[in-house]
Amino acid sequence: MSSGSDEVTSSAPAHSVTIFLGGDVMTGRGIDQILPRPSHPRIYESFVQDARDYVGLAERANGPIPSRVAFSYVWGDAIEELHRVGPAARIVNVETSVTRSDDYWVGKGINYRMHPSNVPTLTSARIDVAVLANNHVLDYGPAGLQETLDTLKRAGVRTAGAGRDLAEAQRPAIVELSEQARMIVLAFGLESSGIPPSWAARWERPGISFLGGLSQLAASTIIERVKQIKRQNDLVVVSFHWGDNWGYEVPAEHVRFAHWLIDGGVDILHGHSSHHPRPVEVYRNRLILYGCGDLLNDYEGIAGFEEFRNDLAVMYFVSVSPTGELLGLRMMPMQIRKFRLNRVSATDAQWLR
């Protein structure tokens, strides 16, 4: 991991490919309110009924935040880093519904929504794949999910992990990396991350690609799909929204399941759900990110769990060989401040390390 002033100590070999992986991008609620076309601020939480209150909390913590900002504002210094590295593909977990729908999911407690007119927030960072198998994509019901899918498709952002039916939810996102190589992204969500089981897609019902558990049978099913799709020189990324929000412990079942998938032909495991980064493992020369943490959120000024420093985020730049072997990992720390990604101090970089 390096701070913003550090030099990269080694460059990736010419025959490698570098991709960017990010954790949860939560551009709804408070962040949506500072963007050019905010949704109606009414929300339905126990203690907060106006999304603009989250802007106020952040301003009390860190000072004034501009309104009607440029779409690229939230990415801040991350834009420069993405431009400098120039990854061949960019993947994040988009954890919000992108919709005008007011049909919020009653009783869920927290509902995230970004106005579809604000989707250039994602395209300004040239996001290639939006993982949607998470616990907020259906916050505004099936209609909200369908508008999310339509909006992202029109914007040229590929999606994985959710769909209008089971077939679409299970369909991989595919990015052409070169004439000979593709990146294939499969995404799944688990109840342990807060996803209601009723959100599971069915043959004639919209929803997410829901995984009922981490059994060997479930792993074998995913591996069989990988074998059906994967061609020579393809890079396979499997993305999971799993686990609870806090803590550094990685459940043994997560480790076991990740190893089964790597043994079966998966090249990178992209885990997320926790609000802060969790450990990284290299297994059989393949990368496992057990929890990437939040990349963007509106949590500034909210008290609780300060010891985990969820204001600190990580950008993961992964270099792999044509056969999927890990050649390098650069972890770039950022700080979420005023709803924007900023380069961190040397002290914060060392703390995160």
- Residues 59 and 55: their CA atoms lie apart, in Å, by 6
Specify the pLDDT at position 5: 38
- Residues 149 and 207: their CA atoms lie apart, in Å, by 11
- Residues 286 and 211: their CA atoms lie apart, in Å, by 23
The answer, as to whether pTM is greater than 0.85, is yes
**Angle, CA 151 vertex, CA 42 and CA 192 arms, to 5°:** 65
Specify the pLDDT at position 120: 98
**Continuous segment of H or E residues that includes residue 97:** strand 97-98
Q: What is the pLDDT along the chain (353 residues), one digit of tens a residue?
A: 544 433 333 445 557 899 999 999 999 999 999 999 999 999 999 999 999 999 999 999 999 999 999 999 999 999 999 999 999 999 999 999 999 999 999 999 999 999 999 999 999 999 999 999 999 999 999 999 999 999 999 999 999 999 999 999 999 999 999 888 999 999 999 999 999 999 999 999 999 999 999 999 999 999 999 999 999 999 999 999 999 999 999 999 999 999 999 999 999 999 999 999 999 999 999 999 999 999 999 999 999 889 999 999 999 999 999 889 999 999 999 999 999 999 999 999 999 98
Query: Smallest Cα–Cα separation from 259: which of 232, 287, 279?
Result: 287
- Residues 145 and 265: their CA atoms lie apart, in Å, by 31
Specify the pLDDT at position 1: 53
Place of tokens 């007119």: 117
Instruction: Give one word for 243, left, alpha or beta, with left for phi > 0 and alpha for psi -120 to 50.
Output: left
Torsion angle defined by CA atoms of residues 33, 39, 42 and 45, in that order, rounded to the nearest 10 degrees: -70
321, 26 contact by CB (below 8 A)? no
Burial of 108: CB neighbours in 10 Å, binned 0-12, 13-18, 19+: middle
Place of tokens 């929803």: 207
33, 51 contact by CB (below 8 A)? yes
Token duo for residue 69: 């900002």
Length of the chain: 353
333, 31 contact by CB (below 8 A)? no
- Residues 90 and 88: their CA atoms lie apart, in Å, by 7
